[in-house]
Each structure stands twice: as structure tokens, then as C-alpha cells.
């Protein structure tokens, strides 16, 4: 079982995906992510890409994001996300898509304030995902992208994206990217 760290669902437990194909974000990493980007949100639209159990998007909803799109290609992940959303009664604030991440990014028309990107470490889709987000203008001008990767992954922001913060936590690295101020 996973737990919500803060906000209106603080300390509530949610289900984890029962699969070797997903790796849950630890409480420590989740806490580091949200302490780094701001404890709470005043609305906004989030995307939890490679969502797994949906714990990052649910944490964002708990902390004040208005709506979150959850995207994962695995049936077991989608089933778990739907169960967690129902458990917390946040169906109206949540949209769940069983789709490959890049396909979803290429088809969505939504612009996001927060994009949470936590793919399987061996996949390393960061450059492709950032290119699609940039080319399709999917990140608001004040929006941020939070990526969790293995500690050895080097993520080089390009275009008008800039590195805001990077922190290594054991075998994981949290990278936060925003837009360059003009």
C-alpha cells in the first residue's frame, strides 16, 4: 500500500500496481518532489505520464491541482488507478487513458501546468517526451515538468526549457524543468 503525504487526502492509503513492470515512487522521493515544486497548488491541470498506480497525480490532486490526466499503457496500472480514484471519490477531477505515452502526447489538446514523468528507468524516453511537449506546446508558460529517473541518467533541457532543480536520492534522480523567462 502507498500513502498520500499531504493535503486533503493526507495519510490515506492507496493501492499499488501488482506487477513487476512498475516501480512505485517512494514516499521520500514523493516528498522531495512536492517540497521542491511547492507544497500546495492553487488549481491547475496536471498530467501523470507513465502513471503506474497514479500516486503522483493523486498527490497533486490532494495538494490542490484541479484536474489530472493519468496515462499508462498497462491494463493492471489502469485498473489500479481507477480503483484509487474511486477509493478517494475523485472521479470528476480525474481522466484515465490506457495509451502509450508518446501517442497520448501526440493526440492531446490539453495544456498542462504540471507534468509528472516517471517511466520505467530502462525506457529512458526523456528526450523524446520533452521534444513532443515542446513541439506541441503542451506546457503552460509557467508550468513545470518533474521527472524521476535512475541516478545516472543525464537530462539536458533544450529549446526554451531550463533546469530548475536536480536532486539525487540513492538510485533515483529528481529533475525539475521549467520554461525560460523571456
CA distance 164 to 166: 7
DSSP letters for 7-69: STTTT-EEPPP-STT--PPPHHHHHHHHHHH-S--SS-EEEEET-TTSHHHHHHHHTT-SEEE
Residue 176 is placed in which grid cell? Answer: 525539475
Name the average pLDDT for the chain. 90
Q: How many C-beta atoms lie closer than 10 Å to residue 59's C-beta?
A: 28
Most confident region among 92-106, 113-127, 163-177 by mean pLDDT: 92-106
Instruction: Provide the pLDDT for residue 136.
Output: 96
Return all residues near 98 (Cβ < 8 A) that are at least 6 apart: 72, 73, 75, 78
Residue 35 is placed in which grid cell? Answer: 517540497
Q: How far apart are the first and last CA of the chain?
A: 44
Q: How many C-beta atoms lie closer than 10 Å to residue 39's C-beta?
A: 12
Query: Which conformational region is residue 64 in: left (phi greater than 0), alpha (psi within -120 to 50 degrees), or beta?
Result: left
Return all residues near 121 (Cβ < 8 A) that are at least 6 apart: 23, 149, 150, 153
The answer to whether the Cα torsion of 145, 156, 149, 20 is positive or negative is positive
Q: Convert 103-134 to b/e letters by CB count within 10 Å (16 or more is b).
A: ebbeebeeebbbbbbbbebeeebbeebbebbb
Could you read off the pLDDT of 124-181 as tens digits, one per residue?
888 899 999 999 999 999 999 999 988 888 888 788 899 999 999 888 899 999 987 6
Q: Which CATH number fits domain 2-179: 3.40.50.150, 3.30.565.10, 3.40.710.10, 3.30.360.10?
A: 3.40.50.150
Confidence of residue 20 (pLDDT cuts 50, 70, 90): low
**Is the confidence at residue 182, as pLDDT, over 60?**
no
Q: What angle do CA 90, 36, 51 make, to 5 degrees?
A: 40
Q: How many C-beta atoms lie closer than 10 Å to residue 174's C-beta?
A: 21
Instruction: Provide the pLDDT for residue 139.
Output: 96
Amino acid at each position: 500500500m502507498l500513502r498520500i503525504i499531504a493535503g486533503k487526502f493526507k495519510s490515506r492509503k492507496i493501492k499499488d500496481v501488482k506487477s513487476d513492470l512498475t516501480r512505485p515512487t517512494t514516499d521520500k522521493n514523493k516528498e522531495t518532489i512536492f517540497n521542491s515544486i511547492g507544497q500546495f497548488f492553487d488549481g491547475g491541470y496536471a498530467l501523470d505520464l507513465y502513471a503506474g498506480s497514479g500516486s503522483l497525480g493523486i498527490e497533486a490532486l490532494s495538494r490542490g491541482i484541479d484536474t489530472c490526466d493519468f496515462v499508462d499503457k498497462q491494463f493492471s496500472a489502469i485498473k489500479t488507478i481507477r480503483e484509487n480514484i474511486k477509493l478517494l471519490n475523485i472521479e470528476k477531477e480525474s481522466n484515465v487513458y490506457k495509451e502509450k505515452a508518446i501517442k497520448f502526447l501526440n493526440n492531446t489538446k490539453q495544456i498542462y501546468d504540471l507534468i509528472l514523468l516517471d517511466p520505467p528507468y530502462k525506457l529512458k524516453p526523456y528526450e523524446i517526451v520533452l521534444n513532443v511537449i515542446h513541439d506541441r506546446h503542451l506546457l503552460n508558460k509557467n508550468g513545470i515538468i518533474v521527472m524521476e529517473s535512475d541516478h545516472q541518467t543525464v537530462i539536458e533541457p533544450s529549446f526554451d526549457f531550463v533546469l530548475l532543480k536536480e536532486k539525487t536520492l540513492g538510485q533515483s534522480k529528481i529533475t525539475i524543468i521549467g520554461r525560460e523567462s523571456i
